[in-house]
A and B are shown apart, each in its own frame.
Chain A
Amino acid sequence: MNAFIAIVRRDLLLAARRKSEVFTALFFFMIVASLFPLGIGAETSLLRRIAPGVLWVAALLAAMLSLNRMFAADHQDGTLEQMALSPTPLALLVSGKVFAHWLTSGLPLVLLAPVLGLQFDLSPRSLGILMISLLLGTPLLSLIGAIGAALTLGVRGGGVLLSLLVLPLYIPALIFGAGAVEADMAGLGAGGHLSLLGALLALAAFFAPWAATAALRIALE
């Protein structure tokens, strides 16, 4: 457990030294979300209708932007080898890295989302549901993304390949995440969607580090 905390702290320290990377993803999120009204038109009722989907897709793409850096630097400078040889199970260290990735790329999106939601004229209640759905959904994106990032480590054209591998797996998160807000706006209640999202998160938290670890070992060989 100490090693888990140590790796989270190290990755946060590294992110703090390279703040620009965190902010790039955030700006990307803002810009993509702001492009939609410009492309579709500023009719308030329409914007309100598309808001959950647009914000979720934008968050998903922004979270994906930072994925290929999740293990690449560690792989390049040899830290990954040291992690694999550590007496601590590699899966635990990978979980730590995923958690740190979420703290630096997922959590900021959750916090920024309500501000962007205001651009789409969402009600305070919907903003709350949006935040909860992103809070449950973005860790899921980091977990699934870790598998893709590990698999494409050191592979030619890894960036594009990563999106091809990961985006189909993101669909359930997108459906339940955006669906939660829409269902609530339609007065159907978001509980079902959110609990399914939570179930997926639990499932991924259990399996994804394991799969990512197996993929990392292949990349190291």
Chain B
Amino acid sequence: MSQRLVNWFKFASPATFYPLAGKAWPWFAALGTAFAAVGLWISFFVAPTDFQQGEGYRIIFIHVPASWMSMFIYCVMALWAAIGITFNTRLSGMMSSALAPTGALFAFISLWTGALWGKPMWGAWWVWDARLTSELILLFLYLGYIALTAAIDDPRRADKAGAIVSLVGVVNVPIIYFSVKWWNTLHQGASVSMTKAPTMATTMLWGMLIMALAFWMYSIAIALYRVRAIILERERHATWVAELPEMQA
């Protein structure tokens, strides 16, 4: 048992993780591309035209997976934060900060596509619908995390502060979502919901799932790539960095 624990901590050391991430990211990138190809094919060629929303509903194939990813990435960040706080591993903070920009990007994509979907369906670019509003708040949470960690000079202090922010945020995300939903029903907001309107046919569900997988693989690949840069920035004075093959002249 203790042997296995030790092995896990070995992977948590930046010196071991750096080459591992370097080997792993191309695989995830390739998987992501493949899933994206299948997902796009389903979204445009397999899924039939919706009789209510016409072709406009195809936006859902990126909107919903992007929303899922933005929430999922926030949870993963909080998970890394919890690991970092309990085991005091350096890698966890680096992973959190490697994930944050991608999570924020997916929150942005979700908002952008939501607006583009909303214009033809609701007749307005922005509607205070519960999903979109929570997504906006999630984007604010991401921006808060990024701004705070960027404002603290000492990276380890930044990691710890970021860990607290993401944990506080992850406790609040369901509360915020619930409160926004509550508020939305009280104020009789948008009645056409994005996921309710077209009947959730199986092809649609498959399309969304595969696009979500594509986004997921993309996120892993880009986070691994980014964490490599972060590791190099932070460990620049470590001897193992000097011994890396890519550091030889």
Is A in direct contact with B (CB under 8 Å) within the complex? yes
Could you tell me which A residues sit within 8 Å of B by CB distance?
A: 147, 151-152, 155-158, 161, 164-165, 167-169, 171-172, 175-176, 179, 182-183, 188, 196, 200, 207, 211, 214-215, 218, 221
**Do A171 and B161 contact each other (CB < 8 Å), given the known contacts A165-B144, A165-B148, A176-B179?**
no
Instruction: Say yes or no: A172-B179 contact (C-beta < 8 A), given A157-B151, A161-B147, A164-B147.
Output: yes
Interface string of B117-152 (1 = CB under 8 A from A): 000000000000000000001001101100110011
A183 to B141, CA, bound (A): 28
B172 neighbours in A (Cβ, 8 Å): 168-169, 172
Instruction: Give A211 to B167 CA distance when docked, in angstroms.
Output: 9
Return the 10 tightest CB-CB contacts between A and B, nearest first. Answer: A172-B179, A168-B140, A165-B144, A175-B183, A175-B179, A218-B160, A164-B144, A155-B151, A168-B137, A156-B151
CA A196 to CA B151, docked complex, whole Å: 35
Query: Is B157 interfacial (CB 8 A cutoff)?
Result: yes
| A151 near B164: Cβ-Cβ < 8 Å | yes
Other A-B contacts than A155-B151, A168-B176, A183-B186, 13 sampled, CB-CB below 8 A, are A147-B168, A152-B151, A158-B151, A165-B165, A169-B169, A171-B176, A171-B179, A171-B180, A172-B178, A175-B179, A179-B182, A215-B164, A218-B161
Of B147, B161, B165, most buried by chain A (CB within 10 Å of CB) is B161
B88 to chain A, nearest CB (A): 13
Of B141, B168, B178, B186, the most chain A CB neighbours within 10 A belong to B168
Q: Report B184-200 residues with CB < 8 Å from chain A CB.
A: 186
Residue of B whose beta carbon sits closest to that of A156: B151
Residues of B within 8 A of A (CB): 85, 137, 140-141, 143-144, 147-148, 151-152, 157, 160-161, 164-165, 167-169, 171-172, 175-176, 178-180, 182-183, 186
Does A207 lie within 8 Å of B171, measured CB to CB?
Answer: yes
> In the complex, which residues of chain B have a beta carbon less than 8 angstroms from the beta carbon of A188?
186
A155–B164 alpha-carbon span in the complex (Å): 15
- B176 contacts A172, C-beta separation under 8 Å: yes
Determine whether the beta carbon of B164 is less than 8 Å from that of A218.
Answer: yes
Given contacts A171-B179, A172-B172, contact A221 B148 (CB under 8 A): no
A sample of 11 cross-chain residue pairs with beta-carbon separation below 8 angstroms, ordered by A number, consists of A152-B151, A168-B176, A169-B176, A171-B137, A171-B179, A172-B179, A183-B186, A188-B186, A200-B175, A215-B164, A218-B164
A161→B165 CA distance, assembly (Å): 12
Contact A172 B164 (CB under 8 A): no
Residues on A with C-beta less than 8 A from B85 are 214
Q: Name the CB-closest residue of B to A164.
A: B144
CA distance A196 to B152 in the complex (A): 35
Q: Report B168 CB to chain A, min CB distance, Å.
A: 6
Bound form: Cα–Cα A158–B186 in Å:
36
Which of A152, A155, A156, A165 has the most C-beta atoms of chain B within 10 angstroms of its own C-beta?
A165
Residue of A151, A168, A196, A214 with most partner-chain B CB within 10 A: A168
Q: How far is the CA of A142 from the CA of B85 in the complex (A)?
A: 25
When distances are taken between beta carbons in the complex, the residues of chain A under 8 Å from B171 are 207
Q: Contact: B151 with A161, CB < 8 Å?
A: yes
How many whole Å from B187's CB to the nearest CB in chain A? 9
Kindly state the separation between the CA atoms of A171 and B169 in the bound complex, as whole angstroms.
12
Closest to B162 in A: A151
Given A164-B147, A165-B165, A218-B157, A182 and B137 contact (CB-CB distance below 8 Å): no
Cα–Cα, bound, A196→B183 (Å) = 12
Chain A residues within 8 Å of B169, by CB: 169
Give Cα distance in the complex from A211 to B151, angstroms: 19
**Contact across chains for A211 and B176 when beta carbons are under 8 A apart:** no
A182 to B169, CA, bound (A): 27
Residue of B nearest to A166 (CB): B144
Known contacts A151-B148, A164-B140; is A211 also within 8 Å of B168 by CB? yes
B141 touches A168 (CB 8 A): yes
Quick check: B157 and A221 within 8 Å, CB to CB? Answer: yes
Question: What is the minimal beta-carbon distance from B42 to any residue of chain A, in angstroms?
Answer: 35
Q: Which residues of B contact A179 (CB under 8 A)?
A: 182-183, 186
Distance in angstroms from A68 CB to nearest chain B CB is: 13
**In the assembled complex, which residues on chain B have CB atoms less than 8 Å from the CB atom of A175?**
179-180, 182-183
Q: Which residues of B contact A221 (CB under 8 A)?
A: 157
How many angstroms from the CA of A89 to the CA of B179 in the assembled complex? 33
